[in-house]
Amino acid sequence: MVSSSHEAMHRIFQDHPTLFSRVAEALGIRLPPPVAVEVLPNDVTETDPIERRIDTLLRIETRHDGPFLLAIEAQRKKDPEKPVSWAHYLAYLGSKYRLPPLLLVICQDRSTAEWAARPEPIGFGSWPSLTARPIVAGPHNMPVITEPDQVREDLALAALSAIVHGTSPDIEGMLKAMSTALMAEPETVGIPFVELIFRGLGRLPAAEIWSAMVAVDLDSYQSDFMKKALAKVRAEGLALGHTEGLAQARAEVQAESQIRQAAKDVLAVLAKRGIDVPQEAREHITNCADPETLHTWLLRAATATSLDEVID
């Protein structure tokens, strides 16, 4: 039940609509004086449902500070309507779940990321009543991961970073590292990341590079989605005249794949013949990038009796 004090505190503004300007003056808030005031209906119940959806919402527990909510939004371009929506999300979530909400916005270009990170106060004049201040992840602050070992440390972070850096000059190196790391992962782990990155890159030119890489490295276990998606990207690449670049990327990836396989063959033959390969020598073989040297080692491994006879 609404108390009389509650009623009085807001009802006086209905009876004296210009009162707010004097209250603001008393509080030291500079606002232009009103020239007209209209009392509007105070019912804000929605008779027609308005669909509002957060891209992803997580409830995260912490050890010492209790749970909180994390709303995640993917933002591909600037949208002047978004700050109001974000403020609505945060206020609604805080009211519904009675938990502190945070907003994380993911962007693929620096301009959008800087726009999203700028607090947009909601209010009038010099007094912000509400400000949505999201955490923003974009190419300006996400790590550039170009080493397979670093990718293996956190596949999810590396995949998100590759998607965020889709237009970065470092993207080819990042995708190569990702592809190399996924080669060592089981199919149930590799395929979801392959598809996730492919979806994330969308129609960016980097999608063509990624398609060339996975077409070679992961062809043996592509899912139906990947087969269709790769076919579509290749068709679009042909239509746009990107065949030369796509062929070059595919050739480079295929050459690297053959080199990796040759190194594996050398180690496999040595193991089959019972020749011990210390870790330092194993790394030397694995890191060799010369196909002729690897071919020579493979021939020697077939008849050698010691590792020294293989690697001179």
> pLDDT tens digit string along 255-312?
666 777 788 888 888 888 888 888 888 888 888 888 888 888 888 888 888 888 888 7
pLDDT band, very low/low/confident/very high, at 251 (cuts 50, 70, 90): low
203 or 24, higher pLDDT: 203
d(CA 207, CA 110): 19
Do 302 and 280 belong to one domain? yes
Output b/e per residue, 127-160; b: 16+ Cβ within 10 A: eeeeebbbebbbbeebebbbebebbeeebeebbb
Contact between 183 and 221 under an 8 Å Cβ cutoff? The reply is no
d(CA 302, CA 269): 7
d(CA 232, CA 65): 48
Choosing from 105, 137, 169, the residue where a domain stops is: 137
pLDDT in tens, 108-134: 889 998 999 888 888 887 778 888 888
Answer yes or no: is pLDDT of 182 > 70.
yes
Choosing from 106, 137, 168, the residue where a domain stops is: 137
Give the alpha-carbon dihedral of 216, 221, 222, 223, to 10 degrees: 180
Burial of residue 200 (number of CB atoms within 10 Å: 0-12, 13-18, 19+)? buried
Total domain count, the chain: 4
Do 60 and 112 belong to one domain? yes
At residue 240, φ and ψ (nearest 5 deg) are: -90, 0
Do 212 and 179 belong to one domain? yes
Instruction: Tell me if 247 is assigned to some domain.
Output: no
Instruction: Tell me if 111 is assigned to some domain.
Output: yes
Do 16 and 37 belong to one domain? yes
Lowest mean pLDDT among 15-24, 85-94, 244-253: 244-253
Instruction: Tell me if 206 is assigned to some domain.
Output: yes
What's residue 16's pLDDT? 64
Do 172 and 232 belong to one domain? yes
pLDDT in tens, 52-87: 677 788 888 887 778 888 888 888 888 888 888 888
Among residues 93, 89, 95, the alpha carbon closest in space to that of 122 is found at 89
Instruction: Tell me if 66 is assigned to some domain.
Output: yes
What's residue 242's pLDDT? 45
Do 171 and 230 belong to one domain? yes
**130 by DSSP, 3-state: which?**
strand
What's residue 286's pLDDT? 84
Do 209 and 187 belong to one domain? yes
d(CA 13, CA 32): 18
CA-based max dimension of the chain: 102
Instruction: Tell me if 65 is assigned to some domain.
Output: yes
Instruction: Tell me if 225 is assigned to some domain.
Output: yes
Answer yes or no: is pLDDT of 141 > 60.
yes
Domain range for 109 is 56-137
Do 102 and 75 belong to one domain? yes
Share of the chain above pLDDT 70, in %: 71
Do 72 and 16 belong to one domain? no
34 Ramachandran zone, left/alpha/beta (phi>0; psi -120 to 50) = beta
Among residues 115, 119, 134, 137, the alpha carbon closest in space to that of 70 is found at 134
What's residue 174's pLDDT? 92
